Chain A
Amino acid sequence: MQSLESLTREAQNLAGSTEHSITWHKKGITANEAEVARALQICNACRYCEGFCAVFPAMARRLEFDNKADLNYLANLCHNCGACLHACQYAPPHEFMVNIPQAMAKVRMETYTDFAWPASLGKLYKNNGVTLSLATAFGLVLFLVLTVLSAGNLLSQPQSAPLAGNFYAIFPHNTLALMFGVVFGFAVLALGIGVTRFWKEITPGQATQEAVSEAAHNALKLKYLDGGHGEGCNDEDDRFTLRRRRFHHLTFYGFMLCFAATSVATLYHYMFGWQAPYGYFSLPVILGTLGGIGLLVGPAGLLWLNLNRSPLHGDAEQKPMDRAFIILLFLTSLTGLGLLVLRETSAMPLLLAVHLGVVMALFLTLPYGKFAHGIYRCAALLKWSIEKRQPNKLSLGSD
């Protein structure tokens, strides 16, 4: 087939070419990026999907897809909702084999890896399920050993009840704050450097107040999981549902509430000298409980959707990364709520060690796992909000 050959040739020519705008590493356009370029050239001649999300209007502002930074920007703008795949007249089994969600997902993985700081740790995205499992095992062992060292054994004796509810009898508050502060600080630094590099490469232009608030709105509402018509995105098939959007909201806002709970508790501790455990109706516990419930239901739902997703969506190789992260979030919440319920019992030291171990694993792997998608997605959304306000340089005729 002449047509396919010419498209494939184009893609091959593009792959490995060194004309690109990434300034801080020497990598040429990869095979996955070339596949996105190939598919977008077909999409740009069709454009039926413009109403679904921002990727296609962003694509329509371009004629060529030979710029590495552009390809990474477009890939991270894609939410993997699946709408364009199910609506595509050129999707497999058509010989054009257009599968935008899958092609984009593969490039996103490369974005995370290539922009990771330090660069050598970018490898952790590959086989990420293993990374997260090892981190979890490490976190658990660390805190279980520390518990034994500090308390003598993992279960406080019923007769020595004073331990119950008193977390800091096992781990002094300052030790915990230091450990988690350092790990969390590193995560913020690593992701910050990565996304700053990304931001510079995609040359977004000046952000206006309007653009920033629109991007924030699009990110916080998961605008582009609504299918453009508000009925949601695709999961198993061409049916639109709001399930993914809602479970993601529960996960994200659950996570944020838990984070808020921790922050409030830290304030209580240092500013007011109020020490944990806090009462069941105190602000940190209410925030943490609500967040914890969101962080149980959300990830459980996302895992269920992930297991039943159409195999054509996304990149099968990243499923372990997605699932490991979802499970880690779920465990964080489960162990946290378990600790809350059983904090007055002798199981407290064991539960505390397990909870802290899981949270440690989550924080350690935050910059090198699925969490990164949110950071790069926000950057891409902001660029789109800036870009769409700039005059379109193309002057195509109409059909």
Chain B
Amino acid sequence: MWDVIVVGGGNAALCGALMAREAGASVLLLEASPKEWRGGNSQHTRNLRCMHDAPQDVLVDAYPEEEYWQDLLKVTGGQTNEALARMVIRESSTCRDWMRKHGVRFQPPLSGTLHVARTNAFFMGGGKALVNAYYLSAEKLGIDILYDSPVDDLEIKDGKFVAAMVGDKRYAGRAVILGCGGFESNREWVREAWGQNERGEWPAENFLVRGTRYNMGAVLKVMMREGADTMGDPTQAHCVAIDARAPQYDGGIATRLDCVSLGVVLNCNAERFYDEGEDFWPKRYALWGRLVALQPKQIAYTIIDAKSVGRFMPPVFPGVKADTLPELAQKLGLDETVFMKTINDFNAACRVGTFDHTIQDDCHTEGVTPEKTHWARPIDTGPFYGYALRPGITFTYFGLVTDEKSSVFFKGKASPNMFAAGEISAGNVLGKGYTAGVGMSIGTAFGRIAGTQAAAAAKKMKEGAQHAVA
């Protein structure tokens, strides 16, 4: 019997476990993966979006609460809970000393991250280094950790947690923190969620998972069965357009392709379908996953010419290279005639002013649909490069309803000893869209709160039991 059982082993789960232990609770952490894959999607993260009113060690200038909130409001299109969002934002301004105490180290922004240098605090070595630090701290504090322990069922009685099951093993606890992620690794579930489109395709069959292979959503399914309150659209997710050659799971950040805004993007019919130069790539990458998902065969091709080489972060795989445009069309398996018409139309429509990829410049198109509003330059200088894009899901937003105490709800009533944190309840704040580093802010805020709440709940249960005995 433990005071607190933590289901999951990523950032939110670890924050919960550490806070609960610091509050005096005995803690068991059940991580689904083997040790070498521990940490869920946190192992692929790199920073935390942080509110700050003045420069703070690695953070420059200021990023006040209101600006952070407006950014979040914009990306979610209003699909957020203001009270919870503001709580996350405020927590992000104070949590870093605690993180440091547990061995997390911050570093100045990485090269090529100008757009988030002010708003995001980078973990030295990235998310896996953070996860390593937390596990080390957890071991030192005497938290029991079990790997290869995917929880597949929960014993719940009248809205109260009793035990977590891993196969036929039963772990009883006085309180539980559910920090076991979304369901993006469960391809069958994602396939069902996206359903069949008007072309008769099952779009999700062509999705890649950028993150862990262990977020199967088993506990989320159990909670649905038990009648817990859920929220969100199961097709909404952190969904990015990534290199189509990325592995099915765990491709992480390296599989990104940052050249979209420098060239054009064609679907498999060799036609353009969206303004590639709408905004800076960091503000648009989370949109393009969905855009590609809506195209036939869920694939797209970003085409650049020699002028763009060296102007974007180097991709992990070399592009398909051709000296002429028809040759590139052939190599990419696109209809050469349509391809040439699309490129020629685009080239003719380019109104080139002063190209500058570091600002929203005045290079745009006229008389072509869709238009390209910035960085539009004719694709005319060989060699030419093409990269195939696929939708890559990082994590799903559908999950458990929660509140400022990280509570889990059953028919509108908060459970006294069940708490949720991280991706399993991130959708409360993040109904759609994404902005860099906010996932870790949400996970850290709710994880820490869940830890404190779970330890208090366990204490109360213990005292209650003693009273009952007395």
Contact = CB atoms under 8 A, between A and B. Distances in A.
Nearest to A2: B245
A42 B316 contact: yes
Interface stretch (B119-127, B391-399, B447-455): B119-127
A89 B317 contact: no
A3 interface: yes
A19 interface: no
Nearest to B34: A93
Given A42-B254, A394-B310, A399-B282, A87 B128 contact: yes
Pairs of residues from A and B, 3 with the lowest C-beta to C-beta distance, nearest first: A48-B126, A87-B125, A398-B114
B262 A89 contact: no
Contacts of A396: 111-112, 310-314
Interface of B: 36-37, 43-44, 46, 105, 107-108, 110-116, 122-129, 132, 136, 243, 245-247, 250, 252-256, 258, 261-262, 280-282, 285, 310-318, 357-358
A386 B74 CA distance: 45
Contacts, number: 137
A89 B247 contact: no
Given A45-B315, A45-B316, A399 B258 contact: yes
Contact of B258 (A93, A94, A397): A397
B359 to A, nearest CB: 11
A53 B123 CA distance: 15
Nearest to B124: A51
Contacts of B280: 398
A399 B115 contact: yes
B360 to A, nearest CB: 12
Contacts of B113: 398-399
A121 interface: no
Contacts of B247: 1, 3-4, 95-96
User: Of residues B37, B108, B116, B314, which shows the largest number of chain A Cβ atoms within 10 Å of its Cβ?
Assistant: B314
Given A46-B126, A83-B125, 9 more contacts: A6-B318, A7-B316, A7-B317, A49-B126, A50-B111, A90-B254, A231-B105, A238-B132, A399-B113
Contact of B256 (A49, A83, A93, A399): A399
Contacts of B110: 47-48, 50
A86 interface: yes
B254 A397 contact: no
A177 interface: no
Contacts of B314: 41, 44-45, 63, 396
Nearest to A94: B250
B184 to A, nearest CB: 16
Contacts of A86: 128-129, 132
Contacts of A210: none
B281 A3 contact: no
A57 to B, nearest CB: 7
Given A3-B247, A394-B310, A398-B358, A89 B282 contact: no
A140 interface: no
Given A89-B44, A90-B252, A397-B358, A45 B313 contact: yes
A2 to B, nearest CB: 5
A60 interface: yes
B313 A88 contact: no
Contact of A399 (B108, B112, B132, B254): B112
A63 B310 contact: yes
Contact of A397 (B116, B126, B312, B317): B312
Interface of A: 1-4, 6-7, 10, 41-42, 44-52, 57, 60, 63, 83-84, 86-90, 92-96, 228-229, 231, 238-239, 394-399
B247 to A, nearest CB: 6
A44 B132 CA distance: 22
A52 B245 CA distance: 29
Given A45-B316, A397-B312, A399-B281, A51 B108 contact: yes
A86 B316 CA distance: 20
A226 B318 CA distance: 34
B118 to A, nearest CB: 12
A7 B280 CA distance: 29
Contacts of A90: 252, 254
Contacts of A87: 125-126, 128-129, 132
A395 B360 CA distance: 16
Nearest to B255: A45
B147 to A, nearest CB: 14
Contacts of B46: 48
Contact of B115 (A3, A60, A394, A398): A398
A229 B254 contact: no
A92 B36 CA distance: 8
A395 B311 contact: yes
27 contacts: A2-B245, A4-B247, A7-B316, A41-B314, A42-B316, A45-B254, A45-B256, A45-B313, A46-B316, A48-B123, A48-B129, A49-B125, A63-B310, A88-B128, A89-B126, A96-B247, A96-B254, A228-B105, A229-B105, A239-B136, A394-B310, A396-B112, A396-B312, A396-B314, A397-B311, A398-B112, A399-B113
A3 B315 contact: no
B242 to A, nearest CB: 11
Contacts of A84: 125
Contacts of A10: 318
Contacts of B318: 6, 10
Contact of B107 (A95, A228, A397, A398): A228
B304 to A, nearest CB: 12
Contact of A60 (B111, B128, B250): B111
Given A63-B314, A89-B128, A396-B311, A47 B252 contact: no
A44 B107 CA distance: 18
Contacts of B132: 86-87, 238
A394 B127 CA distance: 27
B36 to A, nearest CB: 6
A7 B253 CA distance: 17
Nearest to A234: B132
A205 B270 CA distance: 47
A1 B317 CA distance: 13
A95 B136 CA distance: 25
Given A7-B317, A42-B254, A45-B314, A397 B281 contact: yes
Contacts of B126: 46, 48-49, 87, 89
